[in-house]
Structures are given as C-alpha cells and as structure tokens.
Amino acid sequence: MEDTKKAHKAHVLVLPYPAQGHINPMLQFSKRLSSKGIKPTLSPTIYISKSMQTTTIPTHYGPPIQIRPISDGYDDGGYNQAESTAVYLDSLRTNGSVSLAHLIKKLHEEGDSVKAIIYDGFLPWALDVAKQFGLVGVVFFTQACTVNSIYYHVQRGLIQLPLSGHDSTKVSVPGAPELHPWEAPSFVHSYGSYPFWFDVVLGQFSNIDQADWVLCNIFYDMEKEVVDWMAKMWKIRTIGPTVPSYYLENRLEDNKDYGLQLVKPNTTICKNWLDSKPRDSVIYIAFGSAAKLSEQQFEELGRGLINSHHNFLWVVRDSEQAKLPKGFLDEILSGQGLVVEWASQLEVLAHEAIGCFVTHCGFNSVLEALSLGVPVVGIPQWTDQGTNAKFLEDVWGVGIRAKVDDDGIVREKQFEKCIREVMEGERREEITKNVVKWKKLAKEAVDEGGSSDKNIDEFVAFLGGC
Ligand code: UDP
C-alpha cells in the first residue's frame, strides 16, 4: 500500500461539473496525467458515481484513477431531482464545498494528501476550498478560449449588455474574428435568457486571478492569438484535445473511450448497420446530451434527411423520441436511416461509412469532429454552440453552419442544401482538405513533443516539484 502511494509524482483531485460533456474531458485529462505519473482522484457527484459502478478506473500506463465522490445535495437523482436550475446550482455550491473539504481532510487522514485541485470553471467555489487547505488551484475550461474571453469581457464590464440591437453590432475580443451577435454565446446575444447559466459562465472569472494555473481543453493552433492574449493575465496552458488517445496518437494503451456513459449506447446495432453502408455515405446526426429541439425542428430535419437520399444515423435521446415526425420510423425501414437513443459517438465518427456529422456544436463534439477528421454541418442550439459553429465554418473551414429563419428554425430546404454541399457539393473538396489538416494538427498536439504534450509535461513537472 505504502509503495503504491510513493510510486506517483503527486496526487491531485479532479472535480468536474456533473454532466456528460464536462466529465468526459476531465476524465480523459486524468488519464493523460496518469500516463505521466500523476495520481488523479476523480470527484464526480455521488449520484453520477452510482452510474459509474466502480471505485477505480484501472490504467495500463500509470496510477489508477480512484473515484471519490462528493455530494451535491441530491444523491439519489442529481440535477433532475432539484426543483429548478437555481436551486440545484445553489445546492451544488453549498453542499459541494462542505463535501469537498471533508474529502480533502479524509484523504489527508488516510495518508494520501492531495497537492492540487483541478476544478471545472463552472465550480469556482472549489478554488476557495483549495486555498483554505493551502492547495494548488487549477481551473479547467471545457469550452473554447474565445467563448471564455467573451465571458471574461462581460464579467469585467468590458462588453456591455444588452448588445445594441443595431444590425452592425459586432462582438469583438482580442485575437478572435469579430462576431455578429448571433455568433456570440447565446447568454450574451440573448441577454436575460437562462440567467442562472449566465451567472455560471461569468462566475468562471469571479476569482480566476487567484488560480495558480488555467488549463484549456483546446490545442494551441485552434485559437493561437486568443490564448496569447489570455496568457498575459494568467498562467494559461492548452492541453487538448481530450479525445481518447486511440483516435489520436495512440500512446495510451487501451484508451478507446472516455470511460463513462450515462446512457447505454446502442453500439452493436450502430456498428452492424454502418458496416453495411458504403464509404462516406452516411450522415451522422446527434445533438449531445442536453439540447432540446422543437417538434417543428424535428419535422424539418426528418424531411431533409429523407429527401437528401443519403443514409443517416440519428441519435434521438429517449426524452426527445416523441417529437419525431409521425410515421418517420416506418418510412426509414427500407434501410436509409437508423435512429438510436445513444451511440458510441467516437466509434461512429471513426467509421469509414460516415461522410458528415450534423452536430449541435457542443464543444466535445467539435473536438471529436476535428480530431477524427469528419466534415460538419452545424446546427447550434444555445450556450457556446453558435460561436463554435462560426469557428468550424470560418476559422477552421471544416464545415458549414445551417441558417435559421426568423423563427429560429432550420427549414428542410436549407438543411438539405447544407447536407448536399458538405456531402457532394463544390465545397466538399476544400472542406476535406481542411479536415485532413486539422486531424493531423490535433494528433501532433498530443503526440510526444507536441504543444499540448509539452504543456502537460510542464504542469506535471510543477506538481512533482511542489
Ligand atoms: N455522445 C455520445 N453518444 C451520443 C451523443 C453524444 O457518446 O449519442 C458524447 C459525445 O461524444 C461527447 C458528449 O457526449 O463527448 C457530448 O458533449 P458535447 O460537448 O458535444 O455536448 P453536450 O452534451 O455537452 O451538449
């Protein structure tokens, strides 16, 4: 026991916000740390930890990842059990702080003290707890740096809200292209929508000046100038993409998935179906773990898919299935389409049958599309997704954003046009060239001596030395 404890360079607590899109990157980053001799302990909420059904995630390349959960005050049902978002976030902060402090003390008593807390930017109170115990405080951003820079500017009063309603209004931060209002994060362009989430994204900057390190889940080439600008203020390092190693440089043995699925994926059904389809022939369409589409939007997408005459694999979560157009599932029985409740997204994106990815542009999906080299059609819904779509189209050039009408709906014809453009149109050649370029850059970033790899080495050396 004693030997195991001494075998690692440092022990760190990793604290994700309790949602699939936030746990995936921090769990994957924990694996990277383990591969470099750091012992990570992951602290999801008790409710989330129940679906993990393990207390240890073994790694072949370094110290195993222990799971030591904390309480958000809703141990039996998590977020869904709370009366409202506001109540949940408040409970997470108050119960989470107490529970985290308790865990730190307990680990100390067990002779397994932690040196640092790596916490999701959505949980700035974790920095207060870290400082209370004299620990290194490391904030981990799960969203793009431009998005974060915009929130920083709003939080410091450098961008005034509401934005002026004038057509020529632009949102501008150093190092990033000027954004039309609709390309800015939704909490910024639709000021007053989701006030509690607005507080959360701005709260990331409430105490950032006290953080010892700022880690960003991007790789440097993605947003060079924005990172350089932020680096003037904080010790910021890019460490991404946190996509399982198998799909990148493949240095972490047996690292093919993130290791946590809150919903069981229909892996075999998807694989068998994809195996039966020709190369580059399938549209994969998925909107992540949280987005809710209107019935009208489902109707337009469903018609567009059928009329495109391309094959498609559509993830429609259980809670969304009732919104599928009437008779839709019968119509696709001939084999043109497959609808599943949840997929192994990485396996799907890596399959040679996939020709394009219709995505809500959640940031993990963005990183996965870039890393696995899949052209995209962006249909952003809210939060940072509109900004991500802008970068996918105009900065990285790996796809296009579908336009919405005055009611905020992507209509069938527009959708079909986008699909055709990416699957078979004139732009496919240019997009494919860019896709190949970004896939290579993503791999290089995490490979030995790459920008993210060097940054992780620097971080690990710091932890080992302090
Ligand atoms: N995902 C998955 N299967 C699905 C849909 C999504 O495994 O059918 C994964 C996807 O690979 C990504 C995460 O869920 O890692 C979703 O994160 P993202 O940031 O894209 O969206 P969010 O769910 O946060 O809106």
Q: pLDDT tens across 350-391, in order?
A: 999 999 999 999 999 999 999 999 999 999 999 999 999 999
Tens digit of each residue's pLDDT (9 = 90 or more) over 308-354: 999 999 999 999 999 999 999 999 988 999 999 999 999 999 999 99
| 227 and 343, same domain (yes or no) | no
The answer to whether residue 130 scores a pLDDT higher than 60 is yes
| 251 and 390, same domain (yes or no) | no
Ligand 1 centre to CA of 24 (Å) is 9
| 437 and 451, same domain (yes or no) | no
| 178 and 205, same domain (yes or no) | yes
Contact call for residues 193 and 187 (beta carbons, < 8 A): yes
Ligand 1 centre to CA of 441 (Å) is 22
Atom of ligand 1 nearest to the CA of 24: 15
The Cα 211–Cα 225 span in angstroms is 22
Atom of ligand 1 nearest to the CA of 142: 19
Atom of ligand 1 nearest to the CA of 346: 11
The answer to whether residue 415 scores a pLDDT higher than 90 is yes
Q: Which residues line ligand 1 (CB under 6 A)?
A: 20-21, 24, 265, 286, 288-291, 315, 342-343, 345-346, 362-365, 368
Which sequence positions are flagged as catalytic?
A: 22, 120
The answer to whether residue 177 scores a pLDDT higher than 70 is yes
The Cα 170–Cα 340 span in angstroms is 40
Q: What is the model's pLDDT at position 168?
A: 82
| 460 and 421, same domain (yes or no) | no
**Chain-wide mean pLDDT for the chain?**
96
| 108 and 253, same domain (yes or no) | yes
What CATH number has the domain bearing residue 285?
A: 3.40.50.2000
| 438 and 451, same domain (yes or no) | no
Mean pLDDT of 182-186: 97
3-state secondary structure of 340: strand
| 76 and 30, same domain (yes or no) | yes
* Count of domains forming the chain: 2
| 418 and 284, same domain (yes or no) | yes
Mean pLDDT of 146-172: 93
Ligand 1 centre to CA of 239 (Å) is 19
Contact call for residues 434 and 397 (beta carbons, < 8 A): yes
Q: What is the model's pLDDT at position 2?
A: 39
Q: Give the Å distances, CA to CA, from 208 to 159, 212, 265, 341, 351.
A: 18, 9, 37, 38, 40
What is the value of pTM for the model shown?
A: 0.96
Ligand 1 centre to CA of 166 (Å) is 35
Q: What is the model's pLDDT at position 4?
A: 45
Q: What is the model's pLDDT at position 6?
A: 55
| 74 and 153, same domain (yes or no) | yes
The answer to whether residue 1 scores a pLDDT higher than 70 is no
The answer to whether residue 403 scores a pLDDT higher than 70 is yes
CA angle 266, 269, 275 (to 5 degrees): 130
The Cα 207–Cα 175 span in angstroms is 23
Q: What is the model's pLDDT at position 333?
A: 85
Confidence grade of residue 7 (pLDDT, cut at 50, 70, 90)? confident
Among 267, 342, 345, 349, say which to mutate for ligand 1: greatest number of ligand atoms within 8 Å of CB.
345
For residue 236, the enclosing domain spans: 2-258+447-465
Contact call for residues 201 and 185 (beta carbons, < 8 A): yes
Atom of ligand 1 nearest to the CA of 349: 11
Strands 65-67, 56-57: pairing kind:
antiparallel
Residue % of the chain over a pLDDT of 90: 94
| 429 and 291, same domain (yes or no) | yes
| 225 and 304, same domain (yes or no) | no
